[in-house]
Amino acid sequence: MQCAVISNRPLTEGFFHLSLAPEEPMGAITPGQFVMIRCCDFTDPLLRRPMSVADFEPDGSRFGLIVQTAGRGTGMLSHLVEGDRLDVIGPFGQGYNVPQEAKSVMIVAGGTGVAPFMTLAPTLAAGGKNVHVLLGARTKGHLLMEERFLHAGAQVHVATEDGSKGFDGLVTELMGKQLDHMDEPPDLALACGPAGMMRAVATLAEHSNIPCQVSLENSMACGFGACLGCVAHVRGEERYVTVCRKGPVFDSREVEI
């Protein structure tokens, strides 16, 4: 599927927001789903890069990505300008699933992990849920989407690794503190970020008996279930599941992170 680049906006050092319009609307998207992007027309880098869908129109006629320049592929994406074309397939995978009964939701996001919550957090807040967003970044300057979450009516708590804003430390340490101080634990935790962070969030949530959904970032060759390269180990079983098809969002108790 060819997409037209509508805009490429720098966010903070090393991060940018791409806005894309597919030739034909992609259809319904669930936050947490991802697309596979071809970074160039030649064969090096060869494989498509997975990217979570960030903000989007309900019919998929426009969607955004929050990208961190991590290597060659994302480096190429960073140079895109308005009017360029991009080869995208998707959306793929299973997104977050917030049950009606969950009245209070704790969202934990690190780095580009804010992407799936750009649409989800406002939707949950608008639906009358009590939404806490815990944002982690290296420094104050690296914080992403704080305004957007505040604007959506969420309670935003910030952690920076250098202490330049909010809690001085990791967002998972902040999560531990929050859980200790809350009169009533949240009904559900949702997280997106690097693997180490997902592991820590899952452990904290399990200790507090809170159902928790995490998004995994395993390397992917295809993104649609054909290569079996992206799998995660099912907890307590001698069995693997594809992250691209059964995930990337899993109940934290389902798989080894």
Ligand X SMILES: Cc1cc2nc3c(=O)[nH]c(=O)nc-3n(C[C@H](O)[C@H](O)[C@H](O)COP(=O)(O)OP(=O)(O)OC[C@H]3O[C@@H](n4cnc5c(N)ncnc54)[C@H](O)[C@@H]3O)c2cc1C
Ligand Y SMILES: Cc1cc2nc3c(=O)[nH]c(=O)nc-3n(C[C@H](O)[C@H](O)[C@H](O)COP(=O)(O)O)c2cc1C
List the x/- string, 88-127, binding to ligand FES by CB under 6 A.
----------------------------------------
Q: Which one, 102 or 227, has the nearer CB to ligand FES?
A: 227
**Which lies closer to ligand Y via its Cβ, residue 227 or residue 234?**
227
- Binding mask of the shown chain, residues 191 to 230, with x at each position contacting ligand FES by CB under 6 A: -----------------------------xxxx-xxxxxx
Which residues lie near another protein (CB under 8 A)?
A: 38, 43-48, 89, 218-233, 238-240
The residue within the footprint of ligand X, chosen from 74, 94, 160, 213 (CB under 6 A), is 74
Nearer to ligand X, 92 or 167 (CB): 92
DSSP secondary structure of 7-45: EEEEEETTEEEEEEEESS------BTBEEEEE--SSSSS
Instruction: Summarize as ranges the residues that interact with ligand Y (CB under 6 A).
Output: 227, 229
Helix (H, G, I), strand (E, B) or coil at 50: strand
**Peptide bond connecting 248 to the previous residue in cis, omega within 30 degrees of 0:** yes
Beta bridge partners of 33: 31
52 binds ligand X (CB under 6 A): yes
Tell me the longest C-alpha to C-alpha distance in the chain: 56
Residue of 52, 186, 201 whose CA lies nearest to 124:
186
CA-nearest of 54, 1, 90, 34 to 219 is: 34
Minimum CB separation of residue 238 from another protein in Å reads 5
List contacts with ligand FES (CB under 6 A): 220-223, 225-230, 242, 244
